[in-house]
Structure 1
Amino acid sequence: MAMTSHVTDQLLPTVVSKKEEKKIEIEEKNGDMNLAIAQGKGHTQAHLASLINQYVDTLNQCSLRNLGFSDNQDFNYDALASLLHFHLNNAGDPFLGSNFSLNSMAFEVCVLNWFANIWEIEKHNYWGYVTTGGIEGNLHGILVGREQLPNGILYTSQDSHYSIFKIARMYRMKCIKVSTLVSGEIDCIDLKAILLAHKDKPAIINLNIGTTLKGGIDDVDNVIQTLHECGFSSDQFYIHCDGAVFGMMLPFVKQAPNITFKKPIGSVTISGHKFLGCPIPCGIVITRLQYINALSKDVEYIASKDVTITGSRCGHAPIFLWYAIKRKGLIGVQNEVQKCIINARYLKHRLRDVGICAMLNKFSNIVIFERPLDKDFIRRWNLACYGNIAHVVVMQHVTIEMLDSFISELLHKRPTWFKDGCYKPLCVAKDIGSENCVCSKHNYDVIQNLWSK
């Protein structure tokens, strides 16, 4: 009895005094909202609704200045609200289903078939699933490559997403960074030198179909040619393509590099919540069916195969993606891609016209410019920064009016960031190229014209 009582005491919640509860509430205050979870009684629906409404107001304000990250906020899924009454769990292989009937695998397979079509791989030759996001897609794609080439070396550019280097540590893979061009694209001259120095090991290559910071697109054809020139046969290399945003956009841009399984690539992943827009972080990964058996394991409990990273997966995300694709259609997606690129070009030209260093890669919606010297300004506009540069990712919710407001505020604040108030653009030539830099050293005429106004 003593032992039973002791165990029971451990399982019971600790009783918190009113004084301690009040202290916890004060410590957990977020702005004007008291988000502390009481240790005793629950709160009324009206009280909770008030807190959520306050939070929604905050989000609405933030959305008006959401420029630095590649999440599309322009979506409406009100029609799917009734689905929130169900827990949907896609556990197991989406092509086999499972014995848990509250799943959305039929929607998931429809989404995967759509992406397989635009990335040019036949239904009977591919396998994939809806992930929690691009990072899980990278985890899966690189794992497939590692299983195909167990002693392979992972090669990726220095501009790759941070998840690639984290994955190398997690899988205990040797990872070699490759230099990049100013655009952010992988430098195939450096890649060739590195590959020749490690010809005794297979190559697992992570290619960026749009780098996170600059939107640099690695040249898949050039990399494949480099591998062959270094003596790597097709069975000695595996290529994973991190498509994040651009893997979804490029198929709808004329003359853009083609992302296709007709080339010897092993896997492609994108983030579903970015270009398509989704309230839930999600993504898609597709690989060749022939590679999956090495990862697949029968699980009697769910009457399916375990071949994904997480096992249980959000059943709502595939439906959101399916709904977005069905509603937009191919023409709708193409129009949104064109709008984002046109608005990005507008921002780049506006910045250059007012004497601010700016760069925009071809086929890109990411505008890179000199880093603002005010942390509050950076936070206010949700900018992503690295070193001396920052960027704006022009997504569907980013309007011309929003960009004009951003530039106006930037021009108003900028003189106050210098002690004497003089207009002194930073030199960012090493980051975005001398042709895109308007500092006094690289563009004297532009500065003289601005000063004369």
Structure 2
Amino acid sequence: MTDALLAERLLALIAAEQTKVGFPGWSAPLPAVLTAFFAYELNNYGDPGTDPVFAWHTKDLERELVGELADVFGAAPDQRWGYVTAGGGEGVLAGLWEARRRHPGARVYHSTAAHASVARAADLLRMEAVAVPAGARGEMDYPALERLVRGRPAIVLATVGTTLTEAVDDVPRIRAALHRAGATGGYVHADAALAGLPLALASAGPPPFGLAGAGADSVSISGHKFLGVPFPCGVYLARRGPGVAADTGDLMCGAPDALSSSRSGHAALILWYLLRRHGRDGLRELADRGRSTAEYAERALTAAGWPAWRAHPQARTVVFATPPHPVPLDWPMPSVGGLSHIVCTPGVTRARIDLFVTAVAEAAHAQPRSELVCQPN
């Protein structure tokens, strides 16, 4: 009975994959060399820099993964620290936790387009959060940030790929705004869960939101979005390790400087494998494929009479007015303020886009609208 229920669920999941365009995750088969590890516990317990006394971990691969990503994000060899998280929300929490250690009592500033996890993290840490207006496309209003800071110490959460439009907050402009505002202290965490790795790979040098120069103090990315890990996970990277390490007297693996004591060794294993298998050139090809598919989708939707737009030329997110019934049911997607989107992950093909555009065109013809939401200025 149980096997039959699971078989039925798997068939439903396979069917759902055919209309998966509205959310940023994607699925790809894992090779047998990886799936064999799921019969065994892999626990990356505690400090990512220290191995435990037991063998069932992948902390050596985790460190190699962090080093590779630190290179991509421009961190200096002697200014890097990081670990594999359970997802983007934990990465945000880790960044704000470290920021609070360095600037106790400072306010957290984030745009109104930031992910909901930012406000939750600030609440958990008992930090005062201030929402900064965002423009029509979702990017932070920097003059508004400057006015709100007014000489205070400031912790800023920059979003690199907002949830709805994939807008990108400009970290150097945030730094400049803090300087003009006379901020008495500053820390910037880049929530780059959605777009961080594709944009970093597209940059000729260290990305402007990365860990070099006037970039961020810490960055977090997701592993189940662009990279396609089949379960939520992520990576937190910083210019340095935690400001205060908890001394627990734990002889197995040192102080648990990561937020979680027991962490998924399977996530580190798969992330390490994907970076090794693709290499930077292969990852760039994946990013280019998604961007090209997004360009195609934008043109196709607009040509079909349903105006679409992207927040910037590298965006893989295509935004448009929420289509009429039954499109949002057949093709699950968010709807916020009358806007929806599709996200062109590496798993989204042009053939799938063609089917989606046909569905939108047919629904629009059956239920004509008097007004369409056009591209914002």
TM-score over 0.5 (shorter chain): yes
* 3-state secondary structure, aligned to 1:154: strand
Which digits, 9 at most, give the CA deviation of each residue in 1:49-106, with x for residues without a partner? 3322221111111111111111122343332121112111111111112233311101
Alignment of 1:248-327 (within 5 A): 248-254=197-203, 258-264=208-214, 265-289=216-240, 291-300=241-250, 302-327=252-277
Which digits, 9 at most, give the CA deviation of each residue in 1:122-173, with x for residues without a partner? 3432111000011000010110001110110000000000000111111111
CA distance in 2, matches of 1:157, 1:409: 34
Aligned match of 2:131: 177
* Contact 2:108-2:155 within 8 A present in 1 as well: yes
* Contact 1:154-1:174 within 8 A present in 2 as well: yes
Aligned match of 2:376: 433
Alignment of 1:32-431 (within 5 A): 47-196=1-150, 199=151, 201-232=152-183, 236-254=185-203, 258-264=208-214, 265-289=216-240, 291-300=241-250, 302-362=252-312, 363-374=314-325, 376-417=326-367, 422-426=368-372, 428-429=373-374
* Contact 1:250-1:258 within 8 A present in 2 as well: no
TM superposition shift of 1:295: 4.1
Which digits, 9 at most, give the CA deviation of each residue in 1:186-220, with x for residues without a partner? 01011111112xx2x31000001111110101011
TM superposition shift of 1:112: 0.4
* Contact 2:22-2:334 within 8 A present in 1 as well: yes
CA distance in 2, matches of 1:398, 1:297: 47
* Contact 2:245-2:255 within 8 A present in 1 as well: no
* Contact 1:250-1:259 within 8 A present in 2 as well: no
* Contact 2:98-2:243 within 8 A present in 1 as well: no
CA distance in 2, matches of 1:310, 1:386: 33
CA RMSD of aligned residues (A): 1.7
* 3-state secondary structure, aligned to 1:145: helix
CA distance in 1, matches of 2:34, 2:58: 13
Unaligned 5+ segments in structure 2 are none
CA distance in 2, matches of 1:302, 1:373: 57
CA distance in 1, matches of 2:31, 2:100: 38
CA distance in 2, matches of 1:105, 1:255: 30
More displaced 10-residue stretch of structure 1: 353-362 or 104-113 = 353-362
Larger radius of gyration: 1
* 3-state secondary structure, aligned to 2:235: strand
Unaligned 5+ segments in structure 1 are 1-46, 435-453
Q: Cα–Cα, structure 1 residues 158 and 423, in superposed 2: closer, same or farther, change >3 Å?
A: closer
TM superposition shift of 1:121: 1.3
Q: Cα–Cα, structure 1 residues 280 and 77, in superposed 2: closer, same or farther, change >3 Å?
A: farther
CA distance in 2, matches of 1:385, 1:100: 47
CA distance in 2, matches of 1:78, 1:211: 35
* 3-state secondary structure, aligned to 1:96: coil
CA distance in 2, matches of 1:163, 1:356: 31
CA distance in 1, matches of 2:98, 2:238: 8
CA distance in 1, matches of 2:110, 2:31: 37
* Contact 1:108-1:130 within 8 A present in 2 as well: yes
Which digits, 9 at most, give the CA deviation of each residue in 1:306-336, with x for residues without a partner? 1111211111010111111111111110011
Aligned length: 374
CA distance in 1, matches of 2:281, 2:243: 37
* Contact 1:73-1:396 within 8 A present in 2 as well: no
CA distance in 1, matches of 2:342, 2:253: 46
Q: Cα–Cα, structure 1 residues 100 and 154, in superposed 2: closer, same or farther, change >3 Å?
A: same
Give, as a single letter, the amino acid of the residue that structure 1 aligns with 2:286.
Answer: E
* Contact 2:170-2:209 within 8 A present in 1 as well: no
TM superposition shift of 1:357: 2.3
Which digits, 9 at most, give the CA deviation of each residue in 1:356-389, with x for residues without a partner? 1211122100000001232x53132121211110
* Contact 1:299-1:306 within 8 A present in 2 as well: no
Give, as a single letter, the amino acid of the residue that structure 2 aligns with 1:247.
Answer: G
CA distance in 2, matches of 1:73, 1:368: 22
CA distance in 2, matches of 1:124, 1:99: 27
Compare relative contact order (CA 8 Å, sep 6+) and give the higher one, 1 or 2: 2
Q: Percent identity?
A: 28
CA distance in 2, matches of 1:53, 1:103: 31
